[in-house]
Amino acid sequence: MSAAKRENLAINTIIGPGTSVYGDIESGGFTRVDGNLRGNLTARGRVVVGEKARIKSNISGTSITIGGVVYGNVLASERLIILSTGLVLGDIVTRRIQADEGCLVHGRVTVCGTDEIWDRARVKLQEAPEPEPAAPEYTKNHG
């Protein structure tokens, strides 16, 4: 296994259960969130949002897996997986998406087939204002 592959598998940043972070996070690699985060998360690697995680932030990374609640926009340069326990209240821009049965998404989803479409959608999402507060019926079962 190459050094680059091993680096992608190593967890660089963990926000554990029962932990709350207020502020932006910039991570150089794989980031896992199982606690609470209020602030933007920008990772140059994979991002995993655990089932118990509650995030109010915009998230960007290469490959993102969401099992908890994300209130913010999601930008995944390679792919996005939303597990059956996942809830996204915000817009999504990605190149590939997998959404398990039972997940909830309240926002626009843009799946980009070309680099040109990706660049336009990425810039538009990064310039977008924060999403509107969610209706209570979306969060009562997930948040």
Residue for token digits 């896992």? 32
Residue 2 has pLDDT above 80, yes or no: no
73 falls within a domain: yes
- Please state, rounded to an integer, the average pLDDT across all residues of the chain: 86
Widest pairwise Cα distance in the chain: 47
Q: What is the enclosing helix (H) or strand (E) of 69?
A: strand 69-71
140 falls within a domain: no
141 falls within a domain: no
133 falls within a domain: no
Number of domains, the chain: 1
Higher-pLDDT residue of 134 and 74 is 74
Residue 140 has pLDDT above 60, yes or no: no
Structural domain containing residue 18: 3-128
The whole-angstrom separation of Cα 93 and Cα 5 is 25
In this predicted model, what pLDDT tens digit does every residue of 31-69 receive, in sequence order?
999 999 999 999 999 999 999 999 999 999 999 999 999
138 falls within a domain: no
134 falls within a domain: no
72 falls within a domain: yes
